[in-house]
Amino acid sequence: RRKWRRVVGVLRDLEEACETSVGRLRQVVDAMAVEMHAGLASEGGSKLKMLLTFVDKLPNGSERGKYYALDLGGTNFRVLRIQLGGKRSSILSCDVERQPIPQDLMTSTSEDLFDFIASSLKQFVEREAQNSEFSSVKRRELGFTFSFPVKQTSVSSGILIKWTKGFSIKDMVGKDVSECLQHAMTRNGLDMRVAVLVNDTVGTLALGHYNDPDTVAAVIIGTGTNACYLERTDAIIKCQGLLTTSGGMVVNMEWGNFWSSHLPRTSYDIDLDGDSPNPNDQGFEKMISGMYLGDIVRRVILRMSQESDIFGPVSSRLSMPFILSTPSMADMHADESPELIEVARILKEDLQIPDVPLKVRKLVVKVCDVVTRRAARLAAAGIVGILKKIGRDGSGGIASGRSRGSDGKMRRTVVAMDGSLYTRYTMFKEYLHEALCEILGEEIAQYVILKVTEDGSGIGAALLAASHSSHS
Ligand code: ADP
């Protein structure tokens, strides 16, 4: 009995350390808006990089013609082609091809990697030429989604800051990413222009805006997390005299690196960070995204198992980092069977903990709930932080707020959403929405719409190639 009480104590401590009252979430909202401001004020002014994208116009439906996209951001890359009819006719056709990147190319030379990509792209283009009745007279244009940290030098060029996600091609760092691709296409005899170079959030915003012109921001919560939004150029203080026709520019926040003392942090977060290859980096991401949630839960179960024998002898599996994946955690969380058979199965198969009593299985579900609830509510606070920065959170009164249009009516504010945590983890999404309503209040929350926008990283890049085409 005493031992059970100790385990319940571990849960209570966890709940307390993960506390996300509306009051605390509002502090996170304010901190996010303040950090955004600081990141826009000067280079290195905040943990938020607030990177300029040079994307000053978003697709609006008037685009016409055939455009390509290349999406490189992980173990797969995708090539795609879309046909646009203009006049909001929506996307007429879209062909996609996905290919894994051979492991050895991820650590070889930039020439090898880009030759492989360019030749795949060439084959894709040639297959089309055989099918279509006439070949295009215009030069083909491409949107390139490259989801690694890039310092943009223009809308179509940028320098690789560093590799992530298992890539390590040393000669590439510091080089212009588009130039590498452009040279490889030339070597392979493919005549195509890189019209835009963007990251996946910007592609998501572009597709969101194409579908709904009230879309002002995009948030991805998948393996990692990031967000971008449309900012007024005069608010981008670190780039004085920045002029765009629209008066706006998309800013890539790199919000995974956000940090604030108001974030509810546990000893498990501190340990996870310390054990990671990038300590003190990506602090927000480590509390929110798919790469980490399962591992936080694993650490809590390990502590419980060490505190008492309710899980039997301490399984050596529990000490293995990342052995409990976020999809498995989500499956346990979603288990509605009276005996929690899915929880029992995952404990046994993933963690090699067999035969735990029902009340212990219930405890595990509760741990998943606490960890996911905190993640989702913090993500909601981050979103409201963006809305606050652009005056769409309903605060600031009628005079200074931008929540109302010139006619005094409340405006719709749409945020394009993607990533498996939001699209496939039901409880995550529900907690996020609930927190959004709590922070904004029912009245304002009615006008804030989160819209699932899938495949923006590919389709959105092709749409941006169209809106930044040299033909138009
Ligand atoms: P990306 O790697 O491009 O971010 P996703 O948006 O699909 O791709 O995110 C993948 C991440 O989402 C993985 O880290 C995985 O742990 C998590 N994930 C995938 N499916 C689910 C699910 N059904 N429930 C919870 N998490 C999931």
DSSP characters for 54-65? Answer: -------S--EE
Atom number of ligand 1 nearest to Cα 420: 6
327 CA from centroid of ligand 1 (Å): 7
**231 with 251: CB under 8 angstroms?**
yes
Per-residue 3-state assignment (H helix, E strand, C coil) for 245-297: CCCEEEEECCHHHCCCCCCCCCHHHHHHHHHCCCCCCCHHHHHHCCCCHHHHH
Could you tell me the two tokens for 281? 């980096």
460 CA from centroid of ligand 1 (Å): 20
Residue whose Cα lies nearest atom 21 of ligand 1: it is 327
What pLDDT is attached to residue 289? 96
Could you tell me the two tokens for 234? 């005069």
Sequence spans of domains, the chain: 1-50+211-454, 54-198
What is the best residue among 326, 335, 372, 454 to mutate for testing ligand 1's pocket, by most ligand atoms within 8 Å of CB?
326
Rounded to whole angstroms, the Cα distance separating 378 from 363 reads: 23
Q: What is each CA distance from 63 to 106, 212, 264, in whole angstroms?
A: 35, 15, 45
Helix (H, G, I), strand (E, B) or coil at 144: strand
Phi, psi values for residue 416, rounded to 5°: -80, 130
What pLDDT is attached to residue 399? 44
Residue whose Cα lies nearest atom 2 of ligand 1: it is 223
Rounded to whole angstroms, the Cα distance separating 235 from 3 reads: 57
Rounded to whole angstroms, the Cα distance separating 394 from 400 reads: 10
314 CA from centroid of ligand 1 (Å): 28
Active site residues: 78, 147, 200
Atom number of ligand 1 nearest to Cα 424: 23
325 CA from centroid of ligand 1 (Å): 9
Q: Which candidate, 110, 137, 59, places its Cα nearest to that of 469?
A: 59
What pLDDT is attached to residue 186? 96
Residue whose Cα lies nearest atom 17 of ligand 1: it is 290
**3 with 10: CB under 8 angstroms?**
no
Atom number of ligand 1 nearest to Cα 457: 3
Rounded to whole angstroms, the Cα distance separating 458 from 199 reads: 10
Fold of 1-50+211-454: Hexokinase; domain 1 (3.40.367)
Atom number of ligand 1 nearest to Cα 200: 3
Q: Is the ipTM of this complex over 0.90?
A: yes
What is the best residue among 225, 421, 457 to mutate for testing ligand 1's pocket, by most ligand atoms within 8 Å of CB?
421
Q: What is the DSSP letter of 241?
A: T
- What is the CB < 6 Å shell around ligand 1? 74, 222-223, 290-291, 325-327, 330, 419-421, 424-425
Could you tell me the two tokens for 31? 């901190």
What pLDDT is attached to residue 405? 81
What pLDDT is attached to residue 196? 97
Could you tell me the two tokens for 330? 């989500």
What pLDDT is attached to residue 121? 95
165 CA from centroid of ligand 1 (Å): 14
Rounded to whole angstroms, the Cα distance separating 460 from 466 reads: 10
What pLDDT is attached to residue 295? 98
Q: What is each CA distance from 155 to 143, 181, 199, in whole angstroms?
A: 10, 15, 11
Phi, psi values for residue 351, rounded to 5°: -110, 0
What is the best residue among 98, 223, 226, 298 to mutate for testing ligand 1's pocket, by most ligand atoms within 8 Å of CB?
223
What pLDDT is attached to residue 339? 97
360 CA from centroid of ligand 1 (Å): 27
Domains 1-50+211-454 and 54-198 share a fold: no
Q: How open is the CA angle 329-330-335, to the nearest 5 degrees?
A: 100
Residue whose Cα lies nearest atom 15 of ligand 1: it is 290
Distance from first CA to last CA of the chain, Å, rounded? 74
Helix (H, G, I), strand (E, B) or coil at 448: strand
402 CA from centroid of ligand 1 (Å): 34
- Alpha carbon dihedral 425, 429, 434, 435, in 10-degree steps, equals 100
Chain centroid to CA 86: how far?
Answer: 29
In sequence order, the 6+-apart residues with CB closer than 8 A to the CB of 296 are 266, 268, 269, 272, 371
Fold of 54-198: Nucleotidyltransferase; domain 5 (3.30.420)
What is the C-alpha radius of gyration for the chain, rounded to an integer number of angstroms?
24
73 CA from centroid of ligand 1 (Å): 14
Could you tell me the two tokens for 54? 């040079």
Q: Which candidate, 298, 234, 306, places its Cα nearest to that of 269?
A: 298
Residue whose Cα lies nearest atom 22 of ligand 1: it is 327
Q: Which candidate, 13, 85, 7, places its Cα nearest to that of 265?
A: 13
What pLDDT is attached to residue 400? 47
Could you tell me the two tokens for 425? 């983890």
Phi, psi values for residue 175, rounded to 5°: -95, 160
Q: What is the DSSP letter of 231?
A: E
Residue whose Cα lies nearest atom 26 of ligand 1: it is 327
Atom number of ligand 1 nearest to Cα 73: 3
DSSP string of 345-410, one letter each residue:
HHHHHHH------HHHHHHHHHHHHHHHHHHHHHHHHHHHHHHHHTT-SS-SHHHH-SSB-TTSPB
Q: Which candidate, 111, 36, 28, 68, places its Cα nearest to that of 287?
A: 28
Pairing of strands 215-221, 150-154: unpaired
Atom number of ligand 1 nearest to Cα 419: 6
Please list the pLDDT of the chain residue by residue as tens digits (472 residues).
678 999 999 999 999 999 999 999 999 999 999 999 999 999 999 999 999 999 999 999 999 999 999 999 877 899 999 999 887 778 888 899 999 989 899 889 999 999 999 999 999 998 876 666 545 557 899 999 999 889 999 999 999 988 877 788 999 999 999 999 999 999 999 999 999 999 999 999 999 999 999 999 999 999 999 999 999 999 999 988 887 888 999 999 999 999 999 999 999 999 999 999 889 999 999 999 999 999 999 999 999 999 999 999 999 999 999 999 999 999 999 999 999 999 999 999 999 999 999 999 999 999 999 999 999 999 999 999 999 999 999 986 544 467 788 787 889 999 999 999 999 999 999 999 999 999 999 999 999 999 999 999 999 999 999 999 887 6
Residue whose Cα lies nearest atom 7 of ligand 1: it is 420
